[in-house]
Amino acid sequence: MRGARPGKLAVRAVNQYRNREVISYLGLRYYLDNSAAQNDEWAREVATQLTLDRTSPTLFRVNHFKDKDNRRVIHHRPIYLPGPNESLAEAVLLEECAKHPQVFENPTCLYSYHLSSGTDRSGMFAHYMTGLKSRHQAIAEACVDCPNGEVHYLDIKSFYPSLDLEIVERAWNRAADRAGMRNRYRDLGLAMISMQASQAENTGDNLLVGPMFSHLLANLALRELDVGISPSLASNYFRYVDDITLVGSKASILESKQVISGLLEDLGLELHDDASPKHIQVSTKKWLEGRYDFSQGEESVSWMTLIGDLKRFLLKHPDQQPGLEDAFQSEGFRIPVKDYSEAAYERGFLENVVDYAKRSWFRAQVREVTIQTLLSGAKELRSRYARSFAALLQLSDTASGYGRKRIVPKMRYFGGRLIYLLPEEGLAELALQANEMPELLLTASVMDAVSSGRLDDVVSLGTNAAQAAAQPLRASGRKCSLESIGDDACSQQSLAVAELNGLKLSTEEPIPSNEIVRFARKGADRELFRSKDGFMRELACLHGLHHGPRHAKMLTTAFDEDEEFTFDAIDQLQSSDSP
């Protein structure tokens, strides 16, 4: 028996990076295979010191799908993944920042990346949906107070990559000074910024997208706008990452926009111009038609209740995991079923029940959950979501501006869940319909791959697309095909993601193999232990020499009872627009 459960910081890091990128997640899981590394003291002392002593960066670049232009050229966003030790050190640093709310807590106008605190184990930051809902409610209140006004959506161009690291470092030092932060933690932040600067020398990027610490740094860089300037603006101001929303009279918004543009210019940033599709304006009266877009209906079954019931069932009946998996597959569902047997059995039954009873997701149970009730709930959602998607598809034919801005997130919401719920024939038809909307290209591509088993298109899109398809395909148990693949980094990484998930691939052509593909297929070998790529070298060493790879088992086995359920066809497809 392992004895003590993993510490809060380890679980936060695992949850946060599982939502970001599966390669990071696996690195953390192999790192945390050592039980000594699971406790919070290891994170605060060992992981922190190793990061402070690091002399070269261990950032691994992957490519995420961003968009496809009018010439059908695919554009990717580079994502930089820190090594597992640095990921754990990030959890330490962000926890320390949360202890100084007067400096690091989000001001009331900022709704993105709110630091977790206390005993929260769900991630380093609060779930993004919490901020989106709060912002939506705040905008609604502002619109009610300004019945004859306007709402303008503004967007900062290439936000993170345009933020100069010298500006970021000054913002970090100012915040550390105000907080009276211990030198150890100030230096840890500077070491992480220096690691990004070393990477930037080779790529030309500035603040990197990928590390969790980047989100805090970006918020600190705009602190003057959020705290110093926004209260004196003529209009109401709300920010979510690079998305700025202004509410007020037309004149007050134009005045506020000039002030905001000037401050952003001082930081080397600029807004998309008025002709950009990202610049949307609508009357407050029209905006209020979508006031309740985030409200939950009164249906007895929702996606949240289904997943909550699923987790309760698996924790109470871990031995029934294989039977539930078979039942889902027989009904055409591709819902991944994590193995909680180790987490559930490591403590006594009574200890489990007492601990679970303290948690809201467990107390919320009002009925006995069985395999049959889970199947019934999934069937109800499948029918309801398919009808909702079809209705939105009809509306999209004529929607533009704010109307389209309301429709697209809803279609992504239903589309992502239908990837897990619809049988192959229905999903293939939905893919054809979704493909008619440019904003749903990524969703449509994943739908097509999951319904057909053909991976050729998604591997060219990026690792986010590959993971979004791989998870439901693995849950379906079907074989997949790949006719050919290029030797470019993006395609090779996407192929590796498919292999990491344990997909059964058939291909008639030899596939070129680089280090990440070899690691995904065969696990570690002695040559990988000597890789020139620091990230790959550490990943191989942490995996160790085994009779084959352990990746697929890691992805389907829960690290801890508080590990969140992750649905890649939902989380990876939410948006490819920011930051």
**Cα–Cα dist 198/195, whole Å:** 5
Q: Which pLDDT belongs to residue 367?
A: 66
Q: Which of 160, 162, 161, 142 is CA-nearest to residue 152?
A: 142
> In 392-506, where do the E strands start and end?
480-481, 505-506
Kindly give the pairing relationship between strand 236-240 and strand 480-481: unpaired
Q: Measured between alpha carbons, how far apart are the two ends of the chain, in Å?
A: 43
Tokens of 545: 């020499």
Query: Which position has the token pair 């300004």?
Result: 146
Q: What is the largest CA-CA distance in the chain?
A: 69
Amino acid identity of 218?
Answer: A
Is residue 113 within 8 A of residue 211, CB to CB? The reply is no
Query: Which position has the token pair 């190793």?
Result: 50
Is residue 117 within 8 A of residue 105, CB to CB? The reply is no
Tokens of 334: 């591709």
**Cα–Cα dist 325/146, whole Å:** 52
Phi, psi of 61, rounded to the nearest 5 degrees = -90, 125
Is residue 547 within 8 A of residue 36, CB to CB? The reply is no
Query: Which position has the token pair 């290439």?
Result: 158
Is residue 512 within 8 A of residue 487, CB to CB? The reply is yes
**Cα–Cα dist 248/235, whole Å:** 5
Q: Which of 12, 243, 276, 275 is CA-nearest to residue 110?
A: 243
Spans of all domains in the chain? 8-290
Q: Which pLDDT belongs to residue 294?
A: 85
The burial of 249, by beta-carbon neighbours within 10 Å (0-12 exposed, 13-18 middle, 19 or more buried), is given as middle
Query: Which position has the token pair 């918004």?
Result: 253
Q: Which pLDDT belongs to residue 243?
A: 96
What DSSP string runs through 321-370? HHHHHHHHHHTT------B-HHHHHSS-HHHHHHHHTTSHHHHT--S---
The burial of 538, by beta-carbon neighbours within 10 Å (0-12 exposed, 13-18 middle, 19 or more buried), is given as buried
Give the Cβ contact number of residue 57 at 10 Å: 23
Q: Which pLDDT belongs to residue 510?
A: 65
Residues of the chain with pLDDT under 70: 1-3, 203-204, 296-299, 344-367, 508-512, 575-578
**Cα–Cα dist 194/169, whole Å:** 9
The region, left, alpha or beta by phi > 0 then psi within -120 to 50, assigned to residue 347 is beta
SS3 readout for 96-136: HHHCCHHHHCCCCCECCCCECCCCCCCCCECCHHHHHHHHH
Q: Which pLDDT belongs to residue 177?
A: 98
Within 8 A by CB and 6+ apart from 158, the residues are none
Is residue 437 within 8 A of residue 411, CB to CB? The reply is yes
Amino acid identity of 94?
Answer: L
Three-class DSSP category at 16: helix
Tokens of 380: 């109800």
Residue 257: HSE in the Cβ half-sphere, 13 Å Cα cutoff: 23
Amino acid identity of 466?
Answer: A
**Cα–Cα dist 400/547, whole Å:** 55
Phi, psi of 115, rounded to the nearest 5 degrees = -65, 135
**Cα–Cα dist 424/450, whole Å:** 8
Is residue 284 within 8 A of residue 149, CB to CB? The reply is yes
- Helix or strand run (H / E) with residue 572: none
Please state the separation of Cα 427 from the chain's center in Å.
Answer: 24
**pTM for the complete prediction?**
0.93
Q: Which pLDDT belongs to residue 575?
A: 54
Q: Which of 30, 19, 22, 83 is CA-nearest to residue 502?
A: 22
Q: Which pLDDT belongs to residue 437?
A: 93
The burial of 274, by beta-carbon neighbours within 10 Å (0-12 exposed, 13-18 middle, 19 or more buried), is given as exposed
Query: Which position has the token pair 């509410």?
Result: 247
Q: Which of 182, 178, 168 is CA-nearest to residue 48?
A: 182
The burial of 409, by beta-carbon neighbours within 10 Å (0-12 exposed, 13-18 middle, 19 or more buried), is given as middle
